[in-house]
Amino acid sequence: MTRLSVNINKVATLRNARGGDVPNVVKVALDCEKFGADGITVHPRPDERHIRKSDVYDLRPLLHTEFNTEGYPAPEFIDLVLKVKPHQVTLVPDSPAQLTSNAGWDTKKNQAFLTEVLEEFNNAGIRTSVFVSTDTEMIEYAAKAGADRVELYTEPYATAYPQGEEAAVAPFVEAAKIARGLGLGLNAGHDLSLVNLNYFYKNIPWLDEVSIGHALICDALYLGLERTIQEYKNCLR
């Protein structure tokens, strides 16, 4: 079964736009679980423009499903993850000012750095995932660095999908086979939606997890959160 992890960053963005605590990030996360989500993803950035460190601490003891924390492994982020101990940490190569994750790691160039960071998290009993492109070498070096999983950056798939499904998914299928052959778990995320998720899943049915935020929260404005989560779950069947 491929698990659906709901990224709630956009909920925090809405809250922060007016100050205060509406919508309440913890309540939305718990509602996502109640409505069928298999996990919750957060990406605390240094400027706390959406998810705050305090949100991460608040969420950890209350969630009943898997908690995934994404971020660039700067010292402050490493300290947060080691204190909170989510079920999974996903390492992304974002700069502090970056709007959103828009590329995978160069795992070959950063092998020594990633190896050190991944070892620290693995020793703490936290499953590790590294955000990568479909490039074979990047996946191989993620495995060499000690990652438990890779997360495929799926924006290129989403962009190419309207022009041709088969061509869009082909490099991801090959990358998924390479990851499986190396003994890596497999996650995917970025711009997956109700339009393109089912086709992706049908071609890579051994996916462990998809992490979806922006499209899902946008769909919830029209469909409601409960129905939206069920629609996404239906795409993974």
What is the pTM assigned to this prediction?
0.94
Compute the residue count for the chain: 237
Fill in the DSSP letter of residue 84.
H
Please report, as a single letter, which amino acid is at residue 123. Answer: N
64 counts as catalytic: no
The dihedral sign for the CA sequence 180, 209, 104, 94: negative
pLDDT of residue 103: 73
| Angle between helix 136-145 and 165-181 (nearest 10) | 30
**Closest CA relative to residue 217, chosen from 22, 68, 32:** 32
pLDDT of residue 94: 75
70 counts as catalytic: yes
Q: What is the mean pLDDT of each run of 10 residues along the chain (237 residues)?
A: 97 95 98 98 94 98 98 96 98 71 86 98 98 97 98 98 98 98 98 98 98 98 98 97
Q: Backbone phi, then psi, for 178, in 5-degree steps?
A: -65, -45
Read off the pLDDT of residues 168-197 as tens digits, 9 standing for 90 and up: 999 999 999 999 999 999 999 999 999 999
pLDDT of residue 209: 98
**Closest CA relative to residue 58, chosen from 91, 92, 21, 90:** 21
Active-site residue identified among 33, 43, 66, 140 = 43
**Closest CA relative to residue 211, chosen from 152, 161, 167:** 152
pLDDT of residue 98: 54
Please report, as a single letter, which amino acid is at residue 168. Answer: A
Q: CA 134, CA 112: separation in Å to the nearest integer?
A: 21
DSSP states along 7-62? E-HHHHHHHHHHSTTSS-HHHHHHHHHHTT-SEEEE---TT-SSS-HHHHHHHTTT
Read off the pLDDT of residues 131-150 as tens digits, 9 standing for 90 and up: 999 999 999 999 999 999 99
- Are 161 and 120 in contact by the 8 Å Cβ rule? The answer is no
Q: Is 218 helix (H, G, I), strand (E, B) or coil?
A: helix
Active-site residue identified among 33, 50, 66, 70 = 70
Active-site residue identified among 33, 50, 140, 190 = 190
43 counts as catalytic: yes
